[in-house]
Structure 1
Amino acid sequence: MADATDHAFYDRADAHIELSNEQLKTYGNLGEISASMLFGTSRFNAWASAQNFKSAAEMADAREALLKYFCDQYRMMLEDNLDDHINNFGQYVLGK
């Protein structure tokens, strides 16, 4: 994950979260907003990954490594954020 001093990393992440929060006001379904954000992230990452290959065959050969990388990264980030919400549940969820 990004170094704590990489404020641009967190600013970009916060911009995505802000968009989802705005969509929540319009569509009102937290699960659907979360699913759309996850789908968008996976689609963008597939596109970004494709930029590093010269052919579909080359990308297909790297498919498993790409899946492992992105799944490992997502798990690490989700674990960190779950722990943060567990440790700060009163503040984040209950507003205390």
Structure 2
Amino acid sequence: MQKTDDEFYDRADEHIHLSNDQISGDIGRGKVSASMMYATARFNAWVSAVGWNSGEEMKASKEETLEYFVNEYRKMLEENLDDYIDNFSEYMSVPE
């Protein structure tokens, strides 16, 4: 993962808070998670498109782009899974 800037975690927390606010009785965590992943994929497709002059250029680098984003997501997911594994009791305890 790239070195983060000072506001990196603040921006991430804003997305998490928005997602948490979307969870309701009939809209569960799974649906909100799917929407958040779709939004991230859509945004990253746009971020990629901005760097090209044509669809052909973009298509030529599609596999490299996919590899980059999938690898970065995997590293971030592994880091967060390890954090939850190491701190499960603290993070998942029911408040008294």
Per residue, is there more helix in 1 or in 2?
1
Which consecutive unaligned segments of at least 5 residues does structure 2 have?
Answer: none
CA distance in 1, matches of 2:21, 2:68: 30
1:51 pairs with 2:50: yes
CA distance in 2, matches of 1:38, 1:74: 10
Residue 58 of structure 1: how far off its partner (Å): 0.2
Task: Provide the residue aligned with 1:39 in structure 2.
Answer: 38
TM-score of the pair, normalised by structure 1: 0.91
Which consecutive unaligned segments of at least 5 residues does structure 1 have?
Answer: none
CA distance in 2, matches of 1:84, 1:7: 21
May I ask how many residue pairs the two structures share in their alignment? Answer: 95
Say if 1:24 and 1:30, in contact at 8 Å, map to a contact too: yes
TM-score of the pair, normalised by structure 2: 0.91
Greater relative contact order, per chain length (Cα 8 Å cut-off, separation 6+): 2
Q: Secondary structure at the match of 2:19?
A: helix
What is the identity percentage for the equivalent residue pairs of Structure 1 and Structure 2? Answer: 49
Residue 8 of structure 1: how far off its partner (Å): 0.2
CA distance in 2, matches of 1:69, 1:56: 19
Per-residue displacement from partner, 1:5-47 (whole Å, max 9, x unpaired)?
x330000000000000000146541100000000000000001
1:80 pairs with 2:62: no
